Chain A
Amino acid sequence: DAGVIQSPRHEVTEMGQEVTLRCKPISGHNSLFWYRQTMMRGLELLIYFNNNVPIDDSGMPEDRFSAKMPNASFSTLKIQPSEPRDSAVYFCASSFLLAGGEQYFGPGTRLTVT
């Protein structure tokens, strides 16, 4: 079975540009999580969805960040406008259960904003 799929795997963009990260969760999973990992702050939860509905976006750093999940098999994380401090690895994870469920991570998108 395919795991969590993310695209692109690497993204280099200039400050001010719009960035869109994509995620396809594991089939049958009903919860999806977006994380950001940096050396300074470690792994941080940005937002999570249950049955395509955003449950908690309190981890989203600023209004420049937005996320959508239009259907059970696709989610996007958008940064507009991007800034150099947004440079990080962004992971998407999915699980079958929301509470206590084991989360499985995608390969991540390494974002560099110059």
Chain B
Amino acid sequence: QKEVEQNSGPLSVPEGAIASLNCTYSDRVSQSFFWYRQYSGKSPELIMSIYSNGDKEDGRFTAQLNKASQYVSLLIRDSQPSDSATYLCAVERAGTYKYIFGTGTRLKVLA
């Protein structure tokens, strides 16, 4: 089992819809979780960090964390074609300060 798992996609959603991206992790004691967006040929760009169970909202983005079920998700409301990118989930391995990245989910927002 990989430490951090994401569906590689592509996940296709129509413009204006909600895109839901999911990530599961194996380390039960992880405390820090991050979502990055990476456009083709560019570097990862931090979108959200989340540390506590529940939801965290920032503009059109909502991160959701459920430590008991060991998953973290990212919702993108009112999806735009410019949201088309690969979304990387990162989990800090407890006690090591290392981020373990998932392989990413490719999102395509169709105009």
Contact = CB atoms under 8 A, between A and B. Distances in A.
Given A43-B88, A100-B92, A91 B43 contact: yes
Nearest to B42: A107
B44 interface: yes
Contacts of B44: 43, 91, 105
Interface of A: 31, 33, 42-43, 45, 48, 50, 55-56, 91, 98-100, 102-108
Nearest to B94: A99
Nearest to A50: B97
Contacts of A50: 97
Highest count of chain A CB atoms <10 Å: which of B42, B44, B96: B44
> How large, as a class, is the contact surface on chain B?
20 to 34
Nearest to B51: A100
B49 interface: yes
B36 to A, nearest CB: 8
B103 interface: yes
30 contacts: A33-B99, A42-B101, A42-B102, A42-B104, A43-B44, A43-B88, A45-B99, A48-B97, A48-B98, A50-B97, A56-B96, A56-B97, A56-B98, A91-B43, A98-B97, A99-B32, A99-B97, A100-B31, A100-B32, A100-B51, A102-B34, A102-B46, A102-B49, A103-B46, A103-B99, A105-B43, A105-B45, A106-B43, A107-B42, A108-B43
A42 B103 contact: yes
Given A42-B104, A100-B92, A102-B49, A107 B97 contact: no
Contacts of B88: 43
A43 to B, nearest CB: 4
The 3 closest A-B pairs by CB, nearest first: A100-B32, A43-B101, A105-B43
A102 B90 CA distance: 10
